[in-house]
């Protein structure tokens, strides 16, 4: 791989003074200028990061097992599950057990008067205007009715770098990890990614 | 404007080394050149052979003064002198009638070859040049120049570098062999 193709990452910024101090602490004449060292450092950092992003797979960082709901799980049970587990979304499985959608806070908010992007404050505004519980119309509805489908899923061997760009691209917060039959194995959320990236340093 | 801007420089010189480093550089280079000099003046004095050439002074800077430098490693020291000596002798033998051309070819081809073989050793340039401008005593050696003084002198300097540099608590030599 040519280092020229690497995206620019910002490693911890080091100064000429840092490099000079390090060189002084090493014995002997270091046959390199501080600027050359920094160039080597930047390129090396980008390469190492790239390698680790490729080496670490969805399967390594996913939360397992994922809490899932079924398409015919009613929304009360769905909301209760999310509340109890302290999660903001879950994969939705179809009749054959394959993941066919994802249901999240955002889907609920959308049903409650928020627009496509779904924010809690929009629901508050809607609530204040309509003088009533905006969740009422959702009684008797099921997860299948409000979920976002089709689901954006990934297999366990997808590098976390790709999961990350997938989330950014689709503007989603979680990606169910599925086996070849589409059955859920776990889930990678933004927090899983944050933890993994913190580990990468 | 970029062209002239590049001439301003953009970074700073590496730090000065400590006193111990200076002392070990002195000891190593003194012993290295002393050994080569003793062989030259006492063992080879009666023969037409020569052992000491100017480029060894330059090698001493690297292998006793900048021991961590890639340029100072055994591969570079030996390869640089030997390959450059071959190029230098060849340059003299083929175009020695045109001294300026032979000199320029000797140095430039030696540098290219050292790059190509990952044996870049700056004193090699001097070894190649001396093969052309070193006078009759050097010219008479022909390709023997590659072995004595170039190869053998570099080998003696290398042995001293191995013995002396590794005595210093904060030095190790070499970084790599080949």
CB contact under 8 A, B171 and A31: no
B164 touches chain A (CB under 8 A): no
Is the CB of B12 less than 8 angstroms away from the CB of A33?
A: yes
B9 touching A, CB under 8 A?
A: no
- Which residue's entry shows tokens 């954006």? A152
Mean pLDDT of B151-174: 95
Model confidence band, residue A7 (pLDDT cutoffs 50, 70, 90): low
Q: Does B8 touch chain A (CB under 8 A)?
A: no
Closest residue, chain A, to B65 (C-alpha): A29
Going through chain A in order, the beta strands assigned E by DSSP cover 69-70, 89-93, 99-104, 174-178, 184-189
Residue A115 has pLDDT above 90, yes or no: no
Rounded to a whole number of angstroms, the distance from the CA of A21 to the nearest CA of chain B is 8
* Residue among A16, A21, A24, A29 with most chain B CBs within 10 A, to mutate: A29
Token digits for B63? 């292998």
Residue B123 near residue B55 (C-beta atoms within 8 A): yes
Q: What is the largest CA-CA distance in chain A?
A: 78
Does A65 map to a domain?
Answer: yes
Same domain, A20 and A90: no
Average pLDDT, chain A: 84
Q: What are A60-70's pLDDT values in tens digits? A: 889 988 899 99
The enclosing domain of A165 has a CATH number of 3.10.580.10
pLDDT (mean) for B146-160: 96
Measured between CA atoms, how close is A38 to chain B, in angstroms? 11
Same domain, A96 and A81: yes
Chain A interface includes B96 (CB < 8 A): no
Q: Does A110 map to a domain?
A: no
**Count of domains forming chain B:** 1
B61 touches chain A (CB under 8 A): no
Q: For B170, name the nearest residue in chain A, comparing CA atoms only.
A: A27
Q: Which of residues 25-64 of A touch B (CB under 8 A)?
A: 27-36
Interface of A with B in 3-22 (CB under 8 A): 16, 20
Would you call B66 an interface residue with chain A, using a CB distance cutoff of 8 Å? yes
With CA atoms as reference, report the closest residue to A182 among A98, A100, A101, A103: A98
Q: Quick check: B4 and B137 in contact, CB under 8 A?
A: no
Whole-number pLDDT of residue A198:
79
Residue A54, pLDDT score:
84
The mean pLDDT of A105-115, rounded to a whole number, is: 79
- The pLDDT score that the predictor gives to residue A31 is 87
Q: Has residue B94 got a pLDDT over 90?
A: yes
Predicted ipTM of the assembly: 0.72
* Band (A133; pLDDT cuts 50, 70, 90): low
Mutate to test the interface with B, among A15, A16, A18, A27 (most CBs of B within 10 A): A27
User: Is the pLDDT at A6 greater than 60, yes or no?
Assistant: no
Q: Are residues A50 and A68 in the same domain?
A: no
A20-57 confidence digits (pLDDT tens): 898 888 878 888 888 889 989 988 888 888 888 888 89
Per the structure, the complete domain to which residue B33 belongs is given by 20-165
| Nearest beta carbon to residue A29 from set B12, B20, B21 | B21
Contact across the interface for B14 and A23, Cβ inside 8 Å: yes
How many other C-beta atoms can be found within 10 angstroms of the C-beta atom of residue A130? 10
Cβ–Cβ contact B155 with A under 8 A: no
What average pLDDT score do residues B18-37 get? 96
pLDDT tens digits, residue range B43-77? 877 677 888 999 999 999 999 999 999 999 999 99
Q: Lowest-confidence range among A118-127, B87-96, B161-170?
A: A118-127
- Of the two residues A103 and A121, the one the predictor is more confident about is A103
pLDDT at B51: 87
Is A158 within the bounds of a domain?
Answer: yes
Whether residue A132 lies inside any domain: the answer is no
pLDDT tens for each residue of A68-87: 999 999 888 898 999 998 89
Residues A95 and A187 in one domain: yes
Domains identified in chain A, total number? 2
Instruction: Indicate if A17 and A95 belong to the same structural domain.
Output: no
Query: Do the domain assignments include residue A10?
Result: yes
More confident residue, A108 or B134: B134
Q: Does the pLDDT value for residue A1 go beyond 70?
A: no
Segment B85-89 shows an average pLDDT of 98
Question: Is the model's pLDDT at A140 over the cut of 90?
Answer: no
Q: Which domain, by its residues, includes A63?
A: 59-103+142-200
Report pLDDT digits (tens) over B106-141.
Answer: 999 999 999 999 999 999 999 999 999 999 999 999
Give mean pLDDT, residues A119-134: 72
Would residue B32 count as lying in a domain?
yes
pLDDT of residue A2: 46
Nearest CA in chain B to A31: B69
E strand segments, A123-189: 174-178, 184-189
Higher pLDDT, A10 or B101: B101
The most confident of the ranges A90-104, A131-145, B43-57 is A90-104
Strand partners, B135: none
3-state SS, residue B104: helix
Whether A70 and A168 share a structural domain = yes
The larger pLDDT score, comparing residue A1 to residue A57, is at A57
Distance from CA of A2 to the nearest CA of B (A): 20
Alpha-carbon gap, residue A46 to A43, rounded angstroms: 5
- Contact between A16 and B65 using a beta-carbon 8 Å cutoff: no
- Asked if residue A169 belongs to a domain, the reply is yes
Is B45 within the bounds of a domain?
A: yes
- Average pLDDT over chain B reads 94
């Amino acid at each position: 791989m040519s280092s020229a193709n690497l995206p620019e990452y910002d490693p911890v910024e080091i100064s000429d003074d840092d490099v000079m101090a390090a060189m002084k602490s090493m014995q002997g004449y270091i046959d390199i200028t501080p600027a050359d060292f920094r160039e080597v450092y930047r390129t090396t950092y980008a390469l190492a990061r790239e390698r680790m992003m490729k080496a670490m797979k969805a399967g390594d960082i996913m939360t397992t097992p994922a809490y899932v709901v079924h398409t015919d799980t009613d929304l009360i049970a769905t909301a209760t599950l999310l509340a109890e587990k302290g999660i903001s979304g879950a994969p939705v499985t179809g009749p054959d057990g394959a993941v066919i959608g994802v249901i999240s806070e955002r889907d609920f908010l959308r049903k409650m008067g928020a627009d496509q992007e779904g924010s809690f404050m929009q629901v508050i505004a809607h609530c204040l205007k309509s003088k009533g519980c905006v969740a009422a119309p959702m009684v008797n509805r099921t997860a299948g009715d409000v979920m976002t489908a089709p689901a954006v899923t990934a297999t366990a061997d997808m590098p976390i770098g790709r999961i990350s760009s997938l989330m950014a691209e689709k503007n989603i917060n979680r990606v169910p990890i599925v086996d070849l039959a589409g059955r859920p194995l776990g889930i990678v959320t933004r927090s899983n990614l944050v933890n993994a990236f913190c580990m990468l340093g | 404007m970029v062209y002239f801007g590049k001439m301003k420089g953009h970074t700073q010189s590496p730090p000065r080394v400590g006193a111990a480093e200076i002392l070990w550089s002195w000891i190593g280079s003194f012993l290295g050149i002393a050994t080569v000099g003793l062989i030259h003046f006492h063992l080879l004095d009666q023969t037409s052979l020569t052992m000491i050439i100017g480029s060894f002074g330059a090698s001493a800077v690297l292998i006793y003064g900048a021991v961590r430098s890639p340029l100072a490693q055994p591969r570079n020291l030996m390869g640089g002198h030997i390959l450059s000596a071959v190029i230098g002798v060849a340059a003299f033998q083929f175009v020695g009638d045109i001294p300026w051309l032979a000199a320029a070819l000797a140095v430039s081809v030696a540098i290219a070859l050292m790059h190509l073989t990952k044996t870049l050793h700056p004193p090699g340039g001097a070894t190649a040049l001396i093969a052309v401008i070193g006078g009759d005593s050097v010219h008479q050696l022909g390709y023997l120049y590659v072995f004595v003084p170039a190869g053998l002198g570099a080998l003696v300097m290398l042995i001293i570098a191995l013995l002396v540099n590794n005595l210093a608590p904060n030095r190790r030599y070499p970084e790599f062999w080949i």
